[in-house]
Homo-oligomer: A and B are copies of this chain.
Amino acid sequence: MLPFARITIIGIGLIGSSIARAVRVEMPTVRLTGYDADPEVRGIADRLQLFDDVTDTAGAAVIDADLVILCVPVGAMGAVAAEIAADLPADAVVSDVGSCKEEVLRALTEALPGATIIPAHPVAGTERSGPEAGFATLFHKRWCIITPPEGADALAVERVSEFWRRLGAEVELMEPGHHDRVLAITSHLPHLIAYTIVGTASDMEEVTRSEVIKYSAGGFRDFTRIAASDPTMWRDVFLSNREAVLDMLQRFSEDLSALQRAIRWGKGDELFELFTKTRAIRRGIIEQGQDDPAPDFGRTHD
């Protein structure tokens, strides 16, 4: 039995359009409705036939849904929730895919008093944005973290969990605050650092941008992928998960200072020790199927 029969996706970007595609493949009898604030995106969604219906307002999209998934930047969640409040069926479950859960839960609870809100975060994505960037297998073997509020309806939690399992994801339940700290180190800080170093490199005077690009295969190019991610989404993530991100950034800066000192004073043993330790984490990631086992991320070498 399907966990939901009439699913509405609001926000048709990489994640929203991937969910639509995956639902079509895995649960083809589900009735799918989509909405995006951008008329151009709605037109593309129509053309790609991602949904049974694409509506002109958010309210019209949710009118007979039993699951509504908000796939908009986390800073827009509250406003979008307010837009659907009047039309949301009383028995619908509202979920989302945002990278910060405390702030999103707060915003949704405030905008939708009495609604069944089960936030979720599929830890998957690429550097591409928009409805054409999505694909049906994006969530395969990736984790989806579900962060129910205290006292959440157990059946609703299980239905949302089953929904994600059907899309190929593995599901884990987590307390929203802990989610935000885990993601601050595994996702938010990496993006912040990647954006920073790409900015630093592009601001150099004596090393030209053309040199940075030409010799990027020495390591720099690995950072440019996530620094090409959607700017609005990431601005909102940093503003919404501010405390946890600032704390992780502080730890990182301390560790970087220690390394800087080791280089300045020629402490090769300290460098060697750190560089040996970090290999184990990559092994773990590959063993647990969270990255490509081929060298160089499986990039083609002719």
Contacts and interface: CB of A to CB of B under 8 A. Distances in A.
Interface of A: 75, 99, 123-128, 133, 135, 137-138, 140-143, 145, 168, 172, 178, 181-183, 185-204, 206-207, 209, 211-229, 231-232, 234-236, 238-239, 242, 245-246, 248-249, 251-253, 255-256, 259-260, 263-264, 266, 268, 271-272, 274-285, 288, 290-292, 295-302
Contacts of A225: 222, 282, 291, 296-297
A181 B225 CA distance: 23
A121 to B, nearest CB: 9
Nearest to A238: B263
A61 to B, nearest CB: 27
Nearest to A14: B295
A171 to B, nearest CB: 12
A140 B301 contact: yes
A290 B214 contact: yes
A220 B123 contact: no
A183 B216 CA distance: 9
A276 to B, nearest CB: 5
Contact of A222 (B220, B226, B245): B226
A123 B217 CA distance: 6
Contacts of A194: 219, 222, 278
Given A196-B256, A227-B281, A185 B209 contact: no
Given A185-B212, A260-B249, A291 B299 contact: yes
A246 B220 contact: no
Contacts of A280: 202
A14 to B, nearest CB: 9
A20 to B, nearest CB: 16
B245 A290 contact: no
Interface centre among A168, A190, A209, A280 (most CB of B within 10 A): A190
Nearest to A234: B275
Contacts of A199: 255, 274, 277-278
